[in-house]
Amino acid sequence: MPNRTLRRRRPDRPRRIAFRVLRAVQVDGAYANLELARALAGAHLEARDAAFVTELVAGTSRLAGTYDAIVAVASGRDQLDPALAEVLRLGAHQLLSMRVPLHAAVGATVDLAAAEVGEKVAGLTNAVLRKVAARDLDAWVAALAQGRDDLDALALRTHHPRWIAQAYRDLLGDEAETALAANNEAPLTTLVVRPGLAGRDELGGEPTPFSPWGARRAGNPAEVAAVAEGRAGVQDEGSQLMVAALAHVPAPAGPWLDLCAGPGGKAALLAGLAIGERTRLLASERQPHRAALVAGALGVYTGEHAPVVIAADGTRPAWPAGFFARVMADVPCTGLGALRRRPEARWRRSPADLTALVPLQRSLLASALDSACPGGVVAYVTCSPHPRETTEVVDAVLSGRDDVTVVNAPAVLGVPDAARGDFVQLWPHRHGTDAMFCALLRVNDQAGRGRR
């Protein structure tokens, strides 16, 4: 009898590339969008194949937890070899969320499993995927939800872990399902000009509805001349609006600070606006390799008020207290507000990450306030709506100080349906942006200076 292993087809390149990107995400902690861009840049695929890889990576990352639950039922196993589990997720996505015919999805995935995991798993892969294909996605979700409470059912329907669904429901009530569902819709790329170096009319596409500096467009951003030349970049409109909030609030004349500047998107916008005010931005980033990214983004600005980039720890400032008129504190966070663009984060993050991040967030906010001059303004920003790293951080830091006044940030920004008390909260389903949070805090003209 001929050896069937010798007659098995080699996996097609798009599926193999998608598998290896997803393994890098799982094994090396890579970001799916960045690893995908790197892989596609070196693959030289035709546009159709590149789009197929993109959907495989993004879609499988987005629904990974749901697919794991389906595969567990279909296989009767709670534990699988990690590489095989990745192959089965890819197969499940093709069967349940893409228009790939059954024979093609199963056959190609079996070939992939045999090549990447081993011939011994080919039969199991075939059997599991045929059981997966016996129901559509809605039927699988309904079956998995049987006997679960309402919160579990919400999490299953919207493809999020329970703890994230809980946070959204606590914040939004009946609106939570719409908000969670919006995290599953891939956004158009949003571009932003470098103020003073490019005009929005150079970006093409559709102007952003709230930011005066951006436009949304399909296609490769590098094909836009202003982007290729560094006079524009890629930045979600929500991030642009965080800069707008800080730039528009009245503040004294003086230098500006970006306390946690990496990788440089907000810093590049701030730098151009600071130059327009005939002042300078200091961009600080603790990690040297990220500081280098910031320097690259800001290198297009030259002249008397060109920005300065340093590698420094924001909790141990390398500058004197009370020196800056405007301070951006875009602190490290869970990234739960950017799940449209980083779909794997919902399964990678856990409540333990909040516990680890909150002390750093509080320390950075306190440092930012100490860095502002009398009358100066601090923007505390996170790409997360979760109360523990937004309102609770602000409340905790301000409870120990009598030298800070909360500014009405929604009134400053002027974006509808963005008020969360005196703070700004953007949402994908309301504003078409990442779920960015912003608190504007003014340091009073008296008392409390130099406090660390």
Report whether 283 contacts 307 (CB < 8 A): yes
Residue whose pair of structure tokens reads 């299953």 in the numeric block: 156
The 3 state secondary structure assigned to 219-283 is CCHHHCHHHHCCCEEECCHHHHHHHHHHHHCCCCCCCEEECCCCCCHHHHHHHHHHHHCCCCEEE
Beta strands in 302-418 (DSSP E): 308-311, 324-330, 372-382, 404-407
Q: DSSP assignment, residue 399?
A: T
> Per 3-state DSSP, what percentage of the chain is helix, strand, and coil (rounded to 5)?
50, 15, 35
Alpha helix locations (H) across 259-408?
Answer: 265-276, 288-298, 345-348, 351-371, 391-398
Residue whose pair of structure tokens reads 């389903």 in the numeric block: 429
Output the CA–CA distances (angstroms, integers) from residue 330 to 17, 65, 192, 246, 265, in the order listed. 34, 29, 18, 11, 11
Consecutive H or E run containing 166 = helix 162-172
CA dist., res. 56 & res. 186, Å (int): 13
CA dist., res. 285 & res. 281, Å (int): 13
CA dist., res. 3 & res. 198, Å (int): 63
Phi, psi of 254 (to 5 degrees): 150, 175
Q: DSSP assignment, residue 186?
A: P
Report whether 425 contacts 437 (CB < 8 A): yes
CB within 8 Å of 324: residues ≥ 6 apart: 254, 255, 256, 257, 282, 371, 372, 373, 376
Task: Let me know if 333 is a catalytic residue.
Answer: no
- The token duo for 63 is 């629904």
**Catalytic pick among 260, 333, 373, 383:** 383
SS3 330: strand
Phi, psi of 370 (to 5 degrees): -70, -25
Q: Which residues are catalytic?
A: 383
